[in-house]
Amino acid sequence: MMANEVSLFIIAIFTSTLAGICAMGGGMILVLILPFFVPATAIIPIHGITQFASNSSRLAFCFKHVYWPFVGQFIIGALVGTALFSTFLINISSQNLPLFISVYLLLTLWLKPIERLFSKFESFYIVGAIQAGLGLLVGAPGPITVTLLYKKLTEKEQIIATASLLMGITNLNKVLVYSVIGFQFLEYWQLILASVVGATFGSILGNYLRNKIPNQHFMVLLKFILTSLALCTCVRTLQLPHTLN
């Protein structure tokens, strides 16, 4: 129905705008909304192609600000994570993974001793593996990449640009993997077109609004969004019915 396409178009504008302002958040919201539009088997691949459009269009506005030293590390980690999680895709139970990720985010954002301890082991190799691997299972495994960028970089344009590139790589990875295993994207071309166009418009709007926010306010807002999403993920995961596997 055309109503579905229009609704998803509007939702994609909103989620992409949010990501354009804060570097993340939109993908996690979108993956929770998509089940109302598509069957379970289509959620991750359609989420991947929509978020790839969102990230790549956002990157077009800030490409010159990418902090390149992290990119190669992330790609190597992503390749390893994709190989591992693709191999064991059927056997991995991902029910409690969002909870573990969210607890990690909260601890490292707010408890300095814990943050200093974890920082000894944090790297973009590990983050790339987790983000790409878990992305195949849960769509948006949590803002772990943005959290690490938040702690490593101080300029909002660098955070936005680098996050857009790294997340774009992650989402392109999802599209490629699901294409290889046989997902038929053309069956959903109308919804995909609506979401891609909406995501692109959202990137334009997010870029405009982000430029109105001073850097110090942006960093406070980003920490608030990260914390809110982590708490919401904890609550949602704890409310899910538990199974033996």
CA 22 to chain CA centroid, nearest Å: 12
Instruction: Determine contact, residues 61/161, Cβ cutoff 8 Å.
Output: no
Average pLDDT, the chain: 81
Which tokens hold the place of 54? 């969102």
Tell me how far apart the alpha carbons of residues 204 and 182 are, in angstroms, rounded to a whole number.
Answer: 33
Q: Residue 141: its pLDDT value, please? A: 63
Tell me how far apart the alpha carbons of residues 194 and 198 are, in angstroms, rounded to a whole number.
Answer: 6
- Nearest residue to 32 (alpha-carbon basis) of 116, 103, 128, 98: 98
List C-alpha distances in Å: 31 to 27, 105, 126, 151, 155.
6, 19, 23, 26, 28
pTM: 0.77
92 C-beta neighbours (distance < 10 Å), count: 14
- Residues 52-85 have pLDDT tens digits of 999 999 999 889 999 999 999 999 999 999 888 8
One-letter identity of residue 89:
L
- Residues 102-124 have pLDDT tens digits of 776 677 667 777 666 656 657 89
* 94, pLDDT greater than 70: no
- Nearest residue to 144 (alpha-carbon basis) of 157, 163, 161: 163
115 C-beta neighbours (distance < 10 Å), count: 14
Which tokens hold the place of 44? 């991750």
- Length of the chain equals 245
Which tokens hold the place of 15? 């989620």
107-121, 208-222, 223-237: lowest mean pLDDT where? 107-121
One-character DSSP codes across 155-183: -HHHHHHHHHHHHHHHHHHHHHHHHHTT-
Q: Which helix (H) or strand (E) holds 60?
A: helix 40-62
Instruction: Determine contact, residues 107/115, Cβ cutoff 8 Å.
Output: yes
Query: Three-state DSSP class for 147?
Result: helix
